[in-house]
Structure 1
Amino acid sequence: MRVIAGSARGLPLIQPPEGVRPTMDRVKGAIFSSLGDAVPGARVLDIFAGSGAMGIEALSRGAESAVFVDVNPRSVNCVRDNLRKSKLTGSVQQMDAFKFLELYGDGSFDLIFADPPYAKQPTDRDFATELIKLPALARALRPGGTAIVERVIGRPEPETVGLVLLRVRQYGESEVAYYAHAE
């Protein structure tokens, strides 16, 4: 796991704690390639941050700011270590992602990256579906912004509140869904 482009290009990142599934470099590269000019100057939110790889990649590519949110204290420490190592700055919050969005979802983010834990069994909590259905996700996004949610392949597309699905790309056993404000 490394920073792909920008000021911290090539820097290996510290792996998140055991049990956290980081976004593969190939997937991260595809996501950032698809975002193009939306990254420089963007205000970024990286929820379910893990190692902080998505927000750090955005900062390395010229994002104005990044907020990293994760409930796991070991993930929060990993993000802080990766920010120090990359010489980039961001706000790191140890908090439940849903609670953060409810409290601070004020339309201030151009890009929202979310890589919640996957629901692998039918009885597992489906964080991605819950997140996509959450009205606070749309409220957190600036008009013209994009929310990028990684999720397990094969789930039915959930109803959204205030968001519209732009596209879905599949990578192995996961998929990346891009959302914007519903017009």
Structure 2
Amino acid sequence: MAKPASQQLRIIGGQWRSRRLRFPAIDGLRPTLDRVRETLFNWLQFDVEGARVLDAFAGSGALGFEALSRGAKEVVFLEKNPSAAVQLKENLQTLGARNAQIWAGDALNWLKQNPEPYDLVFLDPPFGLKLLQPAIDSLTLLPGALVYVEHETGLQLQLPPNWQELKQKQTKEFCFRLFQVEAG
């Protein structure tokens, strides 16, 4: 059976609550599940409004669109897959969002060349490609920044010593965690 040409995700909260956005059916592209996004944005309820957000490995853009819907000042989406990047642009136009930009290219290269600090970073790369550790190692963050990390269960990471884990949940397949960068 052939895969559909596109799929949909639903924005959970904020000004675009219940809006549906399309994303391409691409192997390895797995939008963060609704229940996980709901948990994450409950964790972040006081930290999104006015934040500068980086959605590395954006894919469907589920996390970045959710942040925009909830009042983020700016979101930068990084997406390597050309058709996913085009769909992100179309979705921004559909929503009328002007406070976001999409960089269509390799997220690891972008992180190395753009050491800008963000208030909130989403790191949810495709599983099994060993992209998460290099992304963590490439981040430049100021104290107080929040980092959301989603990865396969059992993956061992070398985290910077100034990252304090605030929240964590795990399923059989994956783990999602929220960190805050401390001074030091």
TM-score, normalization by structure 2: 0.86
Q: Identify the match of residue 100 of structure 1 among 100, 103, 110.
A: 110
Moved over 4 A (4+): none
Q: How far apart are residue 6 of structure 1 and its match?
A: 0.9
Gap regions ≥5 residues in structure 2: 1-8
**Alpha-carbon contact 1:52-1:82 (below 8 Å) kept:** no
The secondary structure found in structure 1 opposite 2:146 is strand
Match of 1:3 in 2: 11
C-alpha distance in 2 between matches for 1:129 and 1:79 = 25
Is contact 2:111-2:135 (8 Å) kept?
no
1:25-44 equivalences under 5 Å are: 25-44=34-53
Determine the C-alpha separation between the residues in 2 that align with 1:48 and 1:57. 15
Q: What secondary structure sits across from 1:14 in the alignment?
A: strand
Partner-residue secondary structure (3-state), 2:116: coil
State the one-letter code of the partner of 2:158: E
Asked whether the equivalents of residues 145 and 180 of structure 1 are also in contact (C-alpha less than 8 Å), the reply is yes
Deviations 1:72-129 (A, max 9, x none): 111101111221222223101012111111111222x10101210101xxxxx32123
Letter in 1 for 2:41: F
Match of 1:18 in 2: 26
**Residue pair 2:52, 2:119 contacting (<8 A) in 1 also:** yes
Which amino acid in structure 1 is aligned with residue 132 of structure 2? A
Instruction: Check the 8 A contact 2:143/2:182 in 1, yes or no.
Output: no
C-alpha deviation, 1:165, in angstroms = 4.1
Structure with the largest fraction of helix: 1
Other-structure match for 1:82: 91
For 1:97, the aligned partner's letter is: A
The farther-off stretch of 166-175 and 146-155 is 166-175
Question: Once the 2 structures are TM-superposed, how far is the Cα of residue 16 of structure 1 from its aligned partner?
Answer: 3.3
The one-letter amino acid of 1:10's match is S
- Equivalent position amino acid for 2:134 in 1: E
For the residues of structure 2 that align with 1:86 and 1:4, how far apart are their CA atoms? 14
Offset at 1:180? 2.4
Number of positions where the alignment pairs a residue of Structure 1 with one of Structure 2: 172
CA distance, structure 1, for counterparts of residue 142 and residue 178 of structure 2 = 14
The 5 Å alignment of 1:9-158 reads 9-19=17-27, 20-89=29-98, 90-107=100-117, 109-119=118-128, 125-132=129-136, 134=137, 136-137=138-139, 139=140, 141-156=141-156, 158=157
Give the corresponding residue for 1:122. none
8 Å contact from structure 1 (residues 4, 29) kept in 2: yes
Distance 2:25 2:115 in 1: 27
Residue 3 of structure 2: aligned partner: none
| Identity value in percent | 35
